[in-house]
Structure 1
């Protein structure tokens, strides 16, 4: 797996996971994914459903390459559904249906357990909302049963992609295909923290020759957070300097339900990326004042052991 991603997978503890990136030789991001080192002796990988075909082909090609060299490696696609239970009371709701003590399951760790009578579920303390919560990998045959059991609690409501999108944007989390893609490097995308220290030194991941020097040098553009009043900033809206020169574009934007103001992220020339920098964003042919802001816009509430 380390021949495909930028993260330090070998150093993961049993049942610990990490967000990582598939990269190409030009340093671009092919997808973001979560890799977990399970206590059962294999890696559990969750990548984006929208990138399923290319991610699967990437891993299959690497498996064949390594097997041809005599390596003991294999790839199995698990026919599971993935349910995300997110929010401040998610753990309490789920605890009613599991025997395991969820207080011992911190952020980015996982365990296999029976959930509301459905066996062989992998529960991972993670999610893409910035809130506490879990993602449950459940055998397809039990997915509807489990979803029905969760919805039996009046605190649990169905949430669509638009609700998830506003939450992940408030948390400053990237959406693949919008905020990052194969033409974006991890450093440009402000994701340099995903590069393991050992991996940086070894420079043994795809695109390392491009990405590692960027950590110490300058990149032409960077992903930043933006806040503004007035009309919401939307993808592709031009970002301008205070003098009116186009310096970038918005990649994600929406009104923030928590902050009651508009938030967005986008790419600007590096010299304009410092928090507090006043800029302009063109929305519906009108220029409105925006400010480069630190992310996350709303503090995250991931569950960690004290």
Structure 2
């Protein structure tokens, strides 16, 4: 008679399987809560058509997938059991921004415009921003900064300039020392998508930002010794022309140049009149005329 090991060992006090650990995951619980919403009906399990009878059949609903996954032979976008689909759109309405009020208690309608921008960025969204303002000399925004503020700004600017200068000098050295990393920063991150199906159900996160230390012996990542074509030269200086005007009859007559006819050479033997050879305004020498 053989004795089994299970008969000798005592019964287990607790059982745990992979499925139970998966169900305890907050992401999975958020997905279950999303699927239990009012806008999503109960999932009805039904078998898809068998192989060979799926000609023209396309899974459209969650029920078409049954208890399995997607069908890779069907070239359409498929989301079996809601995987890969933004279920937040079904549970709640579209992305809405919380109502905010200013110091006077009025609604801030510029909250939509400021989505995606930093809080320090100046965005003009009110009608009063387009109207000119009459500032008095006693207004605080019109006054010049005091000496303490000027000294602080000058010191901060000089500090940044020195850092950039020393970085340029250190980059030219053959051996560089490892740069001291910046201090650790803690950032409070609030995602725009709030819901159980996103961010593991967390409304806020604390992010620890640490700068990666750079290896001083790391070779350069980019080639900078290549010849770069020269930039185009500066445009030529503009030539200031006088405005165009019509030419007079006298100017047109002055531009008429008589043909160049030599008085001594006539290789082709062409005969010209005296007026054509000497022009009308030429005075004939008396000895030259007597020679003829």
Question: Normalising by the residue count of structure 2, what TM-score does the alignment of the two structures yield?
Answer: 0.20
Higher relative contact order (CA 8 A, sep 6+): 1
Determine which structure has the larger helix proportion and give its number.
Answer: 2
Name the one with the larger strand percent: 1
